Structure 1
Amino acid sequence: MGGLSARQAAERFDVGTATAIVWVRRFREGGELVARRQGKPRGLRLDPHADYLLGLLEQTPDLTLAELAATLERERGVRVSLATVWTFLDRHAMTFKKVPVSSPR
């Protein structure tokens, strides 16, 4: 870093001190120069339950997101948000819109 300490470099490049220290350590230990991917790994919390959930939908295709989440919590002890269930279904190309019952005219 051109003679700068990690703390000085952090200040100069406007990053956190802890971040700069980690970057310097990674470089010194293994020559790592590329930024690592941010965020959680791409796997979902529901991936281990894929067969179970897809089986439920095969048996009862009109389950709502709320019903799926409630069944998952009751039967498997896994508590997830409706958004997590939706994302799981979206990744398995199983999204669908409920068609409301129309009132007769």
Structure 2
Amino acid sequence: MEASSPPQQTCCFCYSSKKASKKKSKADRVPLDLHEIEWGKNDEILSDMSTFSAQEQEKRYKKAKEKEKEIQQEAKKVMNWVKQASSRMDVSSIEKVINEPK
């Protein structure tokens, strides 16, 4: 006879009876938009980003946004290249590659 293992317990962190949920006020939320952030007035943001000046933080943010745009453009180029290459393939050439001995 096989020994049956005990059922596994699932854990859920979202429900806890120890603490009552606290609704965050508008001052507690972290702004996600560059225009909402009051640079230099929110010490928590500066310490989270591990920088010491608001100007440095703004420069890093702008550089990151520029880099993100470059990466998006490069990804679009790659996707277009893949689409063009796949449109040139025909069924017989795909079958040859699949059936090719390894």
- Larger-Rg structure: 2
Normalised TM-score (structure 1) = 0.26
Normalised TM-score (structure 2) = 0.26
Higher relative contact order (CA 8 A, sep 6+): 1
